[in-house]
Structure formats: structure tokens, C-alpha cells
């Protein structure tokens, strides 16, 4: 771990049987979110989704376009729970977000300071280490996209 830092807690998890990197553990999120890259990567189809009508706000404060929801198994270090993901059609440097519902269900204690998630299993306490390098790459991708969007709106004639 590189100190001092203010990195997000980004881990890998097994979702629907596939190892998925760039999963953000977000204590501020009231929902689990799946982005288009993961949806396509898991070979899921729109027919696999059920309806989801509750509005969802993105990090930027704007409404997010919802595709639907889907329940899939999420396994981290051998502890598996079913997670209902809201599938959104928007950009994110993360491929999925595990929020408070997952944190509470699994009994996890996430720490961005220590870049770790801890939770109990039948074998004892498990420690999942976050990846600071991937977290930094995600931050750079988000900032870069924001700069490009700002530049494109400034170039658009009124």
C-alpha cells in the first residue's frame, strides 16, 4: 500500500462465475450497479433483465438511464451471496459497484484507508485487498473523460 492516499476501494470478485476486476466497494451507494462492459462480458441479454423503475442518480448528480435489473451470484474469497444489480447505460471506469446492500448482506467491513475489505466466513476472517494501481487508473480515466466532455461542449457553437 502506498501512503498517504485517498484511493477508492477497488477489488476483484467472481460474478456469475467469472473473475471481474474494477469492482468498486462504495459505502455511499444504496444499490449495486452493473455497467455495459460487464453486462456484455457476461454474455447477458436484455431478455435476462427484469424491470426496474426507481430513478437512480449518477456520481455527477444527473439521472442515469436504467436498462433493468438482474440477480447474479457474487463470490468473494469463497463467500457467495446473490446480488441484484441495476444495469445502467452510462460510462464508468468501474465495471460494477457493490454498495451498502452487499456490504450488509455479507457482513463486510470495508476500509478505504487500509484499502481492504474484511468479513467473516466459516473458516475465519477473510481479508480482501484492494488494488491501488487499478483505483488510480480508474480515476485517471474518469478525469480524462470529464475533460474531453467539457472540451467538446465548449467547442459546440451556440
CA distance 4 to 126: 24
Say whether domain 10-153 belongs to CATH 3.20.20.140. no
CA distance 101 to 52: 16
Q: pLDDT truncated to tens, each residue of the chain (158 aa)?
A: 666 678 899 999 999 999 999 999 999 999 999 999 999 999 999 999 999 988 787 766 777 888 999 999 999 999 999 999 999 988 889 999 999 999 999 999 999 999 999 999 999 999 999 999 999 998 888 888 777 776 776 765 65
Amino acid at each position: 500500500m502506498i501512503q498517504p492516499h485517498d484511493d477508492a476501494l477497488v477489488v476483484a470478485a467472481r460474478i456469475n462465475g467469472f473473475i471481474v476486476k474494477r469492482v468498486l466497494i462504495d459505502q455511499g451507494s444504496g444499490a449495486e450497479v452493473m455497467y455495459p462492459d460487464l453486462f456484455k462480458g457476461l454474455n447477458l441479454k436484455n431478455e435476462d433483465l427484469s424491470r426496474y423503475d426507481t430513478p437512480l442518480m449518477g456520481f455527477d448528480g444527473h439521472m442515469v438511464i436504467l436498462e433493468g435489473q438482474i440477480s447474479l451470484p457474487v463470490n468473494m474469497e469463497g463467500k457467495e451471496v446473490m446480488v441484484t444489480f441495476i444495469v445502467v447505460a452510462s460510462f464508468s471506469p468501474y465495471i460494477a459497484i457493490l454498495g451498502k446492500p452487499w456490504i450488509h448482506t455479507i457482513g463486510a467491513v470495508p476500509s478505504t484507508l487500509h484499502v481492504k475489505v474484511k468479513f467473516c466466513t466459516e473458516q475465519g476472517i477473510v481479508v480482501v485487498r484492494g488494488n491501488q494501481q487499478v483505483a488510480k487508473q480508474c480515476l485517471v480515466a474518469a478525469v480524462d473523460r470529464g475533460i474531453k466532455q467539457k472540451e467538446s461542449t465548449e467547442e459546440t457553437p451556440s
